Amino acid sequence: MELIIVTGLSGAGKSKVVNTLEDLGYFCVDNVPPQMLEKFAQLGRTSQGNAQRMAMVVDSRGGEMFADFTGALRRLREEGYPFRLLFLDADDEILLRRYKEGRRRHPLLERSALTIEDAIRQERDLLAQARQEADFVFDTSLTTPAQLRERVVETFLSTPAQGMTVQCISFGFKNGLPMEADLVFDVRCLPNPFYVPELKEHTGLEAPVRDYVMAAPQSRELLQRLFDLVDFLLPLYLQEGKSRLTIAVGCTGGRHRSVAFAQAIGEHLREGGAPVVITHRDKGRNNHGTG
pLDDT for residue 163 is more than 70: no
Q: How big, in percent rounded to 5, are the helix, strand and coil portions of the chain?
A: 50, 15, 35
- What average pLDDT is seen over the chain? 89
Cβ atoms of 213 and 260 closer than 8 Å: yes
Cβ atoms of 266 and 226 closer than 8 Å: no
Cβ atoms of 137 and 246 closer than 8 Å: yes
Q: Which pLDDT score is estimated for 161?
A: 44
> 120: Cβ–Cβ under 8 A, 6 or more apart, which residues?
9, 10, 92, 95, 96, 106
Q: Which pLDDT score is estimated for 287?
A: 55
pLDDT for residue 2 is more than 80: yes
Q: Report the predicted TM-score, pTM, of the whole model to 2 decimal places.
A: 0.67
pLDDT for residue 48 is more than 80: no
Q: Listing from the earlier edge strand, what are the strands of the sheet with 84-89?
A: 27-29, 53-57, 2-8, 84-89, 136-139
Cβ atoms of 170 and 258 closer than 8 Å: yes
Q: Using 50, 70 and 90 to split pLDDT, how confident is the model at 162?
A: very low
pLDDT for residue 251 is more than 80: yes
Lowest mean pLDDT across 153-162, 172-181, 259-268: 153-162
CA distance 56 to 288: 41
Q: Which pLDDT score is estimated for 36?
A: 93
pLDDT for residue 73 is more than 90: yes
Q: Using 50, 70 and 90 to split pLDDT, how confident is the model at 106?
A: confident
pLDDT for residue 215 is more than 80: yes
Cβ atoms of 29 and 57 closer than 8 Å: yes
pLDDT in tens, 130-151: 999 999 999 999 888 888 988 8
pLDDT in tens, 9-26: 999 999 999 999 988 888
